[in-house]
Amino acid sequence: MTDTGADRAIPRPRGAAARLIGRKLALVGLVLIGLVVAGALFAPWIAPFDPNDQMFDGLTLEGAPMPPDGKFLLGTDLLGRDLLSRLLYGAQTSLIIGVVANGLALLIGTLVGITAGFFRGWIGAVLMRFTDLMMAFPALLLAISLAAIFQPSLWIVAMVIALVNWVQTARVIYTETTSLATRDFIAAERTLGASTSRILFRHILPHLIPTIIVWGTLGISTTVLLEATLSFLGVGVQPPTPSWGNIIFENQTYFQTAPWLVFIPGAAIILLALAFNLVGDALRDVLDPTQRGRD
């Protein structure tokens, strides 16, 4: 993805219908995100039951989970807890990890990318070789090993995810910074005697903000998926704290007789990840004119 002036000058044409659909999909994504955020924020008020209450009438006479009905809108889980309530509280977990882990990854990635791209020299070489090295890591395997060996808590899981997820951002920011650093207006600033920090914060960073926003949004989707996967394997967020991944982990044994316990949280994970992908992709179109019409 070379970023040349020529590409910027001639945006490729794009059909009005496609543009509309793009915005429509972004709108769908925003609405989904809004719903999940609202569900997470207002969980204490809108959840019909306590998410950890193992209700006596929450299990059938044989001790199996209850299917969805008038009282338990989405049914109950293997311990007789209300699934809807657990999902609403689980949304808190997903969003906290999504924001914290991804924020941390974004911060590391941006720092590494800017430093390597702007200062070049041996610092840049070392940082970028290290980034290459991280690219060769089987990330999921690393995350699972780390999460399993620590006694995982919400914050440890967020740290582990940040640790394996900063690499992509670093690469993109590095490429953008190197091309920015050689542009004329930066040279002009230098000639005028601007300090390094002024160039970095007043001139380089503002140009990187669209990229950071796009990758930040797309990254939340990756983070949500990684958290769900770790929790599904039992090395992520630990029960009884509900997370969409560990609800599936806990109820796996009932997956043949009570499939809603697996597929309702599963659908929630897909919808949330999809929402962030849709919004991120639309943002890329809106914020980066060179990408317009490419897809």
Partner 1 sequence: MAAYLIRRLIQSALILLGVSFITFFLLYVLPADPVRQIAGRSATAQTVENIREQLGLDKPFVVQYGRYLTGLLQGDMGRSYLQKTEVAELILSRLPATLLLMLGAIVCELVLGLSMGIAAALWRGRAVDQALMMTSFITVSAPQFVVSLLLLYVFAVRLGWFPIGGYGTFAHLVLPALTLGILGSGWYSRMMRSSMIDVLRADYIRTARAKGLGRARVVLRHALPNAILPVIAMIGIDIGIFMGGIVVVESVFGWPGIGQLAWQAIQRVDIPIIMGVTLVSAFAIVIGNLLADLIAPFIDPRITLR
The Cα angle at residue 255 between residues 254 and 259, in degrees rounded to 5: 110
Rounded distance, CA 161 to CA 142, Å? 10
User: H/E element holding 163?
Assistant: helix 154-165
Q: Choose between 64 and 274: whose C-beta lies nearer to partner 1.
A: 274
Least Å distance between CB 72 and partner 1?
Answer: 21
Q: Choose between 6 and 17: whose C-beta lies nearer to partner 1.
A: 17
Q: Choose between 123 and 126: whose C-beta lies nearer to partner 1.
A: 126
Q: Choose between 147 and 208: whose C-beta lies nearer to partner 1.
A: 147
Q: Which of 114, 170, 228, 282 binds partner 1 (CB under 8 A)?
A: 228
Q: For the window 245-264, what string marks contact with partner 1 as x by the rule CB under 8 A?
A: x--x---x--xx--x--xx-
Q: Which of 7, 25, 119, 168 binds partner 1 (CB under 8 A)?
A: 25
Q: Does 201 bind partner 1 (CB under 8 A)?
A: no
Rounded distance, CA 113 to CA 168, Å? 10
Rounded distance, CA 76 to CA 241, Å? 16
Q: Count of CB atoms within 10 A of residue 96's CB?
A: 18
Q: Which of 233, 238, 254, 291 binds partner 1 (CB under 8 A)?
A: 233
Q: Which of 269, 279, 282, 283 binds partner 1 (CB under 8 A)?
A: 269
Rounded distance, CA 75 to CA 135, Å? 42
Q: Does 209 bind partner 1 (CB under 8 A)?
A: no
Both structure tokens of 267: 């659908």
Rounded distance, CA 65 to CA 76, Å? 5
Q: Choose between 199 and 226: whose C-beta lies nearer to partner 1.
A: 226
| Contact (CB, 8 A) for 106 and 163 | no
Q: Does 21 bind partner 1 (CB under 8 A)?
A: yes
Look at residues 253, 232, 259, 251 and name the one whose alpha carbon lies nearest to residue 243. 232
Sites for partner 1 among residues 133-192 (CB under 8 A): 133, 135-142, 144-146, 148-150
Q: Does 126 bind partner 1 (CB under 8 A)?
A: no
Q: Which of 72, 166, 215, 232 binds partner 1 (CB under 8 A)?
A: 232
Contacts of 249 (CB under 8 A, 6+ apart): 231, 232, 233, 234, 239
Rounded distance, CA 277 to CA 269, Å? 12
Both structure tokens of 206: 């503002």
Rounded distance, CA 127 to CA 104, Å? 18
# residues near partner 1 by CB under 8 A: 47
The Cα angle at residue 219 between residues 119 and 101, in degrees rounded to 5: 85
Q: Does 294 bind partner 1 (CB under 8 A)?
A: yes
Q: Does 64 bind partner 1 (CB under 8 A)?
A: no
Least Å distance between CB 265 and partner 1?
Answer: 9
Write out the residues near partner 1 by the rule CB under 8 A.
15, 17-18, 21, 25, 130, 132-133, 135-142, 144-146, 148-150, 221, 225, 228-229, 232-233, 235, 245, 248, 252, 255-256, 259, 262-263, 266, 269-270, 273-274, 277-278, 281, 294-295
